[in-house]
Amino acid sequence: RSDIKTEYKQLRVWNLKLSDAGIYTCKYGSHEVHTSLHIFNLTISSDGHFLQKEVPELTLMQNSSNPLPDLSITLFNSNNNRVTTELRSNTRQKYIVNLKKLEAKDSGTWVCQVHSDSPLINQNISFAVKVLGFQNPDLERKYATADSTVTLSWRLNSQKIGWKEGFTGQLNWKHQESANAHELLDFDVTAQGQLHETRKSSFLFEIPESKPEGTIEVKLPNVHFNHSGQYQCQLEYQGRHIQSKIELVVMKVSTNPVGPLSRGANMTLICEVSGLLPPNAYLRWERVNGTKTDVKNSKQHEVKLEVNISAAGLWSCHLIEDNDRKLSLHYHVEDAPVWINDVIIGASVGGSLLVLALGCLCMISGISWQRRRRRAKRMAQARQYLLENKTCQCQQ
């Protein structure tokens, strides 16, 4: 591991080890020169390959023929920003430092700055950090209206950071937090960065053929109200996991009763969402070109909002979060055609007359029945008297 260049009086040593530390002497004739070699060895856990939220461990060891100095260690991330660290162990020969939880943006070349006042040491040691993860937030909320088309995407950073290791993953869905998860697809990424996806469910979704590289994506055509819930994409590398969730909230509107609004009748407009809303979100019904009295807001955490109306017009239901309209659904309440109103009025009048006629018939029938009953009673009494000889019978 060494050679000597006599013309330059140089000793070259490569692949240095801690055991190579010590005093090196160069003799040339009667001249003698001594050089002390101080060696540092810096290692990082997981060979510098991490998932988001993991905490790396940095180990710095030193060896010298002289008494080992007390070192101060300062770390700078890939953006040249100083990083807060936690010193776990210090024996002068071995320093163990914990870094902060890593984010995907922390990938790059870091610098460990080693300093000592006596002897004077200022040494910068570079090392690579690669953080595999998502360019999405940990939890993202997405809103959609019923029967619309929704695309859910997770952007991996493996190609961006030059990740050369293979890893796997899967996409799961569950309607509620307490429900069982359904695996929609799984995937693997080779060391060359090739993505292979395998469908695992009959759930109504599509895997787009054309999409950005390094992206896990599903499309939900004609999304249903019960398609809402948590969609979780999970990465796995050497038994470690990281996930990113998209919470899909679906909104729909309906009426009670269904159909056009008849003259003089009332109708209830119903707007509801499929899941809980954050505290800063609410529903609002408002009549287009209406007045302030034609506006109704839901209360905090309400997922259904109803409004009673008696006149036709265009109504809109909005889902508002942080004063920003995330979704809007419009419902046009139509007046029933004139002939339908006439039919309804005619049916009402006809029904009233029919009830009246039936009432009269019932009264007439009742009177006739009472008369027949009294006549039958008198005849029965007469027969009874004849049998008891209480009456006389005229001779013919």
Say if CB 305 and CB 285 are below 8 A apart.
yes
pLDDT above 80: residue 366: no
Average pLDDT over residues 29-53: 91
pLDDT above 60: residue 392: no
Structure tokens belonging to residue 87: 């010193």
Residue 338: per-residue pLDDT:
54
The percent of residues in the chain predicted with pLDDT above 70, rounded, is 88
Q: What is the tens place of the pLDDT at every residue in 172-215?
A: 999 888 888 999 999 998 888 888 899 888 888 888 888 888 89
Residue 339 pLDDT level (bands cut at 50, 70, 90): very low
Gyration radius from the chain CA atoms: 43
Q: What is the tens place of the pLDDT at every residue in 267-291?
A: 999 999 998 888 999 999 999 888 8
What is d(CA 202, CA 222) in angstroms, rounded to the nearest whole number?
A: 15
Nearest one of 79, 66, 73 to 125, comparing CA atoms: 73
pLDDT above 50: residue 143: yes
Phi, psi of 376 (to 5 degrees): -65, -35
- Give, in order, the Cα–Cα distances in Å from 336 to each of 105, 201, 289, 313, 316: 60, 45, 21, 12, 20
Residue 27 pLDDT level (bands cut at 50, 70, 90): confident
Residue 272: per-residue pLDDT:
95
> For residue 65, what are the contacts with CB-CB under 8 A and spacing of at least 6?
21, 22, 23, 36
Residue 344: per-residue pLDDT:
46
Residue 386 pLDDT level (bands cut at 50, 70, 90): low
Residue 132: per-residue pLDDT:
95
ω into residue 257 within 30 of 0, thus cis?
Answer: yes
Residue 33 pLDDT level (bands cut at 50, 70, 90): confident
- Of 121 and 391, the structure prediction assigns the larger pLDDT to 121
Residue 305: per-residue pLDDT:
95
Say if CB 133 and CB 52 are below 8 A apart.
yes
Q: Which domains does the chain carry?
A: 18-132 (2.60.40.10), 139-248 (2.60.40.10), 257-333 (2.60.40.10)
Average pLDDT in the chain: 86
Q: Which residue is it, tokens 């759930």? A: 203
Q: In 238-250, which positions are buried (b, 16+ CB within 10 angstroms) versus exposed (e)?
A: eeeebbbbbbbbb
> For residue 201, what are the contacts with CB-CB under 8 A and spacing of at least 6?
182, 183, 184, 185
Residue 349 pLDDT level (bands cut at 50, 70, 90): low
pLDDT above 60: residue 297: yes
- Of 375 and 248, the structure prediction assigns the larger pLDDT to 248
Q: What is the tens place of the pLDDT at every residue in 62-73?
A: 998 888 999 999
Residue 89: per-residue pLDDT:
79
Structure tokens belonging to residue 211: 């999409």
pLDDT above 60: residue 341: no
What is d(CA 234, CA 186) in angstroms, rounded to the nearest whole number?
A: 9
Average pLDDT over residues 33-39: 88
* H helix count then E strand count, the chain: 1, 27
Residue 340: per-residue pLDDT:
44
Residue 352 pLDDT level (bands cut at 50, 70, 90): low
What is d(CA 222, CA 226) in angstroms, rounded to the nearest whole number?
A: 12
Residue 380: per-residue pLDDT:
66
Phi, psi of 344 (to 5 degrees): -65, -45
Residue 389: per-residue pLDDT:
56
Look at phi and psi of residue 387 and say left if phi exceeds 0, alpha if psi is from -120 to 50, else beta: alpha
